[in-house]
């Protein structure tokens, strides 16, 4: 082990240098991937120097998600105290299903969940779990809602047309999950949104009434805190008025921006979260924790048990159910995603998490200001969003983003909202400072100057 730890440190040092030297790794064309790198799996052992050389090459060409040129995704950066926790979790290698195997790690998971439940105003019956991602958090919410609506469905299967409501700009996992859980994609209603991408309560109610009139069974409404493209926040109290009138489960998908709960300045964006039945948040997005770190909490722990517990004599042999987390989780064997969030939270405190969140909004302000004072740019997104959507000199965003990537200049993606395509600059990367935002625009402008684009 010692030898490999030494190698690990060596490789990581090179990775850190590489991130500075070449913030965007040169992309390899997919049709050349297996010829350019030594990925082949041999019959005989590899000499250690060749093994190391292969790893170095792979590291060099792997996209650098912690570099200051990474704006591509809803995550990025590296916070060392969180990374430390994840490295420890790998070394400890506990599975989180039982107290016997997880020990104090179970307490670490439970204390995070308890704290989040109390922060959002959930009552003493509330609880939660760590899911394999935000999509699966949504899945768990939908399954709990289904079982609460019809307790027989977990045994008999679904025998009626059960209907899901979510906004037209919500995450694709809602319809995918509907397919996975036997509800069917056709039973997902896409509720219209306003000009900012917030779900319209009137359209929601109209759609519910229409379904009821033909004998369908509405059971679940999904709200979003931070839509994937524009970063919009649905108005929870407004939607709750409708969902509660029809007795529907209300979930708040906060995978992207649910972490505003940590900020005094921005938690108003999820006003009404205490009214929801379930809430999910990805610490691997705004909180800079390594992938993946996804939390789902619900008002009543009974619903978790109802949908996810299974007796298994070979597994649950000691301790009370309260500490055998396998009784309320999606998986059986489950990696420890809690420790990295705990090491982060423990070391920087709740105030440190608040600073992380506030900084991203501040950087988004910097970006929007830059766009607003430079006439070659047009802004499409809004205040209170860490997704800054814009076009530069009317250059088609898709072509621009692809060229920036192929030339290893910047990693940034494009998005579409209400038929408008644009560059989507995300300020979530924890490595970023104000100068990196300004630098982004300078790099973009220089790049456009030196390449041929169809400029209007
Ligand atoms: C990222 C995201 C998800 C999916 O989370 P994963 O961890 O990638 O599965 C779900 N909903 C929203 C709003 C997201 O932004």
User: What is the DSSP annotation of 140-163?
Assistant: HHHHHHHHHH-TTHHHH---S-EE
Task: Give the Cα separation of 224 and 234 in Å (integer).
Answer: 6
Q: Could you tell which of 140, 167, 173 is best to mutate to test the pocket of ligand 1, judged by most ligand atoms within 8 Å of the CB?
A: 173
Task: Tell how far the Cα of 256 is from the centroid of ligand 1, in angstroms.
Answer: 6
Q: Which of 282, 284, 385, 426 to mutate to test the pocket of ligand 1 (most atoms within 8 A of CB)?
A: 282
pLDDT-derived band of residue 428, with 50, 70 and 90 as boundaries?
Answer: very high
- Any idea which of 28-37, 310-319, 329-338 has the lowest mean pLDDT? 310-319
Taking the centre of ligand 1 as the mean of its atom positions, its distance from the CA of residue 163, in whole angstroms, is 21
Q: How confident is the model at residue 133 (pLDDT cuts 50, 70, 90)?
A: very high
Ligand 1: which atom is nearest the Cα of residue 292? 7
Atom of ligand 1 nearest to the CA of 254: 13
Sheet containing 162-167: which strands, arranged edge to edge? 127-131, 294-298, 278-282, 249-254, 217-224, 162-167, 188-191
Ligand 1 nearest-atom number relative to CA 170: 13
CATH architecture of 94-337: 3-Layer(aba) Sandwich (3.40)
Of ligand 1's listed atoms, the one at least distance from the Cα of 224 is 13
Within 6 A (CB) of ligand 1 lie 74, 133-135, 171, 173, 224, 226, 228, 253, 255-256, 282, 292, 294
Q: What pLDDT shows up at residue 456?
A: 53
Q: How high does pLDDT run on average in the chain?
A: 96
pLDDT, tens digit, 9 for 90 and up, residues 77-91:
999 999 999 999 999
Are the CB atoms for 128 and 297 separated by under 8 Å? yes
Task: Give the span between the Cα atoms of 320 and 333, in whole angstroms.
Answer: 18
Domain boundaries, the chain: 94-337
Confidence grade of residue 317 (pLDDT, cut at 50, 70, 90): confident
User: How far is Cα 101 from Cα 89, in angstroms, rounded to an integer?
Assistant: 13
Which atom of ligand 1 is nearest to 294's Cα? 7
Calculate how far, in angstroms, residue 120's C-alpha sits from the geometric centre of ligand 1: 20
Q: Going by CA atoms, what residue is nearest to atom 5 of ligand 1?
A: 134
How far is CA 84 from its chain centroid?
Answer: 20
Question: How far away, in angstroms, is 452 Cα from ligand 1 center?
Answer: 35
Q: For a ligand 1 pocket test, name from 76, 224, 255, 281 the mutation site with the most ligand atoms within 8 angstroms of its C-beta.
A: 255
Position 452 scores a pLDDT of 83
The per-residue pLDDT for range 35-63, each reduced to its tens digit, is 999 999 999 999 999 999 999 999 999 99
Q: Which residue is closest in CA terms to ligand 1's atom 2?
A: 255
Distance 135 CA to ligand 1 centre (A): 5
Task: Quote the strand ranges of 196-333, DSSP E.
Answer: 217-224, 249-254, 278-282, 294-298
DSSP codes, 376-402: TEEE-S-SS-SEEEEEETT--HHHHHH
Q: Which residues of 76-105 are buried (b: 16+ CB within 10 A; e: fewer)?
A: bbbbebbbbbbbebeeeebbbbbbebbeeb
Mean of pLDDT values over 121-134? 98
pLDDT at 157 over 90: yes
Averaged pLDDT for residues 357-375: 98
Residues 6+ apart with CB under 8 A from 87: none
What separation in Å is there between the alpha carbon of 48 and the centre of ligand 1? 39
Work out the number of other CB atoms within 10 angstroms of the CB of residue 110. 17
33: left (phi over 0), alpha (psi -120 to 50) or beta: alpha
Distance 422 CA to ligand 1 centre (A): 20
* C-alpha of residue 388 to centroid of ligand 1, in Å: 18
Find the 136 Cα to ligand 1 centroid distance in Å: 9
Nearest Cα residue to atom 4 of ligand 1? 134
Question: 295 CA to middle of ligand 1, Å?
Answer: 11
Cα–ligand 1 centroid distance for 301 (angstroms) = 23
pLDDT-based confidence at residue 374 (cuts at 50, 70, 90): very high
CA pair distance 350, 329, nearest whole angstrom: 26
Task: State both tokens at 310.
Answer: 């299974």
Cβ atoms of residues 236 and 270 within 8 Å: yes
Query: Which atom of ligand 1 is found nearest the CA of 227?
Result: 13
Q: Is the pLDDT of residue 454 over 90?
A: no
**Residue 371 buriedness (CB in 10 A; 0-12 / 13-18 / 19+):** buried
The residues with which 412 forms a beta bridge, in sequence order, are: 71
Q: Contact, 397 vs 421, CB < 8 A? A: yes
Q: Residue 455: pLDDT band by 50, 70, 90 thresholds?
A: low
Number of Cβ within a 10 Å radius of residue 227: 26
Report the separation in Å between the CA atom of 140 and the middle of ligand 1, taken as the mean of its atom positions. 13
3-state secondary structure 51-82: HHHHHHHHHHHCCCCCCCCEECCCCCCCCHHH
| Ligand 1 atom with the shortest distance to the CA of 284 | 7
């Amino acid at each position: 082990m010692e030898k490999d730890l030494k190698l690990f440190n060596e490789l990581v040092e090179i990775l850190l240098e590489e991130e500075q030297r070449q913030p965007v790794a040169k992309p390899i064309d997919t049709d050349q991937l297996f010829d350019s790198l030594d990925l082949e799996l041999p019959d005989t052992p590899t000499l250690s120097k060749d093994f190391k050389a292969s790893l170095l090459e792979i590291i060099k060409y792997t996209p650098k998600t912690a570099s200051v040129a990474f704006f591509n995704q809803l995550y990025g950066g590296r916070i060392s105290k969180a990374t430390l926790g994840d490295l420890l979790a790998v070394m400890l290698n506990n599975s989180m299903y039982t107290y016997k195997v997880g020990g104090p790690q179970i307490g670490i998971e439970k204390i995070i969940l308890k704290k989040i439940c109390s922060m959002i105003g959930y009552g003493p019956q509330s609880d939660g779990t760590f899911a394999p991602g935000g999509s699966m958090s949504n899945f768990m919410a939908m399954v709990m809602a289904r079982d609460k609506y019809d307790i027989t469905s977990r045994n008999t299967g679904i025998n009626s047309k059960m209907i899901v409501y979510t906004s037209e700009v919500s995450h694709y996992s809602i319809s995918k999950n509907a397919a996975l859980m036997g509800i069917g994609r056709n039973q997902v209603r896409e509720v219209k949104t306003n000009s900012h991408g917030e779900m319209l309560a009137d359209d929601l109610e109209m759609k519910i009434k229409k379904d009821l009139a033909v004998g369908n069974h509405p059971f679940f409404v999904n709200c979003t805190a931070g839509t994937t493209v524009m970063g919009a926040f649905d108005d929870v109290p407004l939607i709750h008025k409708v969902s509660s009138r029809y007795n529907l489960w209300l979930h708040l998908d906060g995978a992207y921006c649910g972490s505003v709960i940590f900020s005094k300045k921005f938690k108003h964006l999820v006003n009404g979260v205490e009214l929801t039945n379930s809430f999910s948040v990805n610490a691997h997005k705004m909180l800079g924790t390594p992938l993946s770190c996804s939390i789902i909490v619900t008002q009543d722990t009974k619903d978790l048990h109802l949908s996810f517990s299974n007796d298994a004599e070979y597994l649950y042999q000691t301790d009370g159910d309260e500490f055998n987390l396998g009784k309320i989780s999606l998986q059986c064997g489950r990696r420890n995603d809690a420790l990295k969030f705990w090491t982060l939270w423990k070391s920087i405190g709740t105030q440190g998490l608040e600073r992380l969140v506030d900084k991203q909004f501040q950087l988004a302000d910097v970006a929007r200001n830059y766009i607003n004072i430079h006439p070659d740019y047009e802004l499409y997104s809004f205040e209170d969003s860490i997704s800054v959507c814009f076009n530069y000199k009317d250059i088609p965003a898709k072509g621009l983003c692809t060229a920036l990537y192929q030339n290893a200049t910047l990693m940034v993606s494009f998005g579409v909202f209400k038929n408008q395509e644009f560059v989507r600059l995300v300020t979530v990367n924890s490595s970023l400072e104000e100068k990196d935002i300004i630098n982004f625009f300078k790099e973009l402008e220089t790049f456009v100057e030196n390449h041929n684009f169809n400029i209007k």
